[in-house]
Chains A and B, each alone.
With several copies, the nearest count.
Chain A
Amino acid sequence: MDISLSVPAERERLDDLTVAIAAVMERHAIAQPVIDDVVLIAEEVVCNAADYGFDAGQEREIVVAIRAAEAALHLQFRDNGRPFDPLAQPAPDLDADIDERPVGGLGVHLVRQLARRVDYVRDGAYNVLDVTLDLTPSETGDAP
């Protein structure tokens, strides 16, 4: 599996992206819980880029690359939005009284928790977010 998909960074394009990603992962017999995690991560990252990443009128693009290798699934998100390092965000205080907690601010936390590993770099005009997830050994990622 070695495919990359690109859409305008707008909420309306999210489902084209996730439907395509899910279809490819199904073809490679990736387990449903992993597909769910990937779709969730894509939703969080793409919606954040769409909501916060761009000035009005700016050309907005986001690319997701998926690669399976060994027992890992590698996702890379690349967008041309304003510099944003999600790893520099403070984690939400989940141990605070549940009724006092803010209702939002959970997306970045979810991405970090579901992934085995997340790396961020700013590469020229691009935010590049590398997200690695675990695959069980039976998910080869190399369908016939």
Chain B
Amino acid sequence: MHLEIQTAPRSGTTQRVALFGRLDTHSYPQLDAELAPVLDGGDPPVMSLVLDLAGLNYISSAGIRSIFKARKALTARNGKLLVVNPQPQIQKVFDVVKAVPMSDIFTSVAEADAYLDMVQRKVVSGDEDE
């Protein structure tokens, strides 16, 4: 009845993880454990983590802390954490604590994928802004 985590097969340097249920003070260690190998890297390391939150009903500051930690680990190696389809309660909490920049929140997996493709093309063609 608490948190369920579905980790998709890795696709290139992109990893999709879907969360269902409640990410709170009881369940955040489960997410930390599931994300540890993803954040540790691999060869080549995961550069984009897409968190699909369509099935997540509730988040508290303990859950925010886990997502924040994941985001830091990724940005430290110039990677990205994208969030897809947060439900209203989740979006509200994200807004209050500014957990994820607005530009990293998408309303569908397809939209996030399109964004990642675009970034990828920029990197390959060498015309990335920074």
Residues of A contacting B84 with CB < 8 Å? none
CB < 8 Å neighbour of A114 from B68, B72, B96 = B96
**A118 at the binding interface (Cβ < 8 Å):** no
**Alpha-carbon separation in the docked complex, A49 to B25 (Å):** 13
A61 to chain B, nearest CB (A): 19
Q: Is the interface of A mostly helix, strand, loop or mixed?
A: helix
**Alpha-carbon separation in the docked complex, A45 to B8 (Å):** 35
Chain A interface size range? 20 to 34
Q: Are B97 and A109 in contact (CB under 8 A)?
A: yes
Closest to A114 in B: B96
Q: Are B96 and A47 in contact (CB under 8 A)?
A: no
Q: Are A47 and B62 in contact (CB under 8 A)?
A: yes
**A20 at the binding interface (Cβ < 8 Å):** no
CB < 8 Å neighbour of B96 from A15, A33, A39, A113 = A113
B1 to chain A, nearest CB (A): 9
Residues of B contacting A98 with CB < 8 Å? 71, 98, 101
Q: Are B61 and A99 in contact (CB under 8 A)?
A: no
Q: Which residues of B, 70-122, contact A by the 8 Å Cβ criterion? A: 71-72, 75-76, 88-89, 92-93, 96-98, 101
Q: Are B88 and A33 in contact (CB under 8 A)?
A: yes
Q: Are B97 and A103 in contact (CB under 8 A)?
A: no
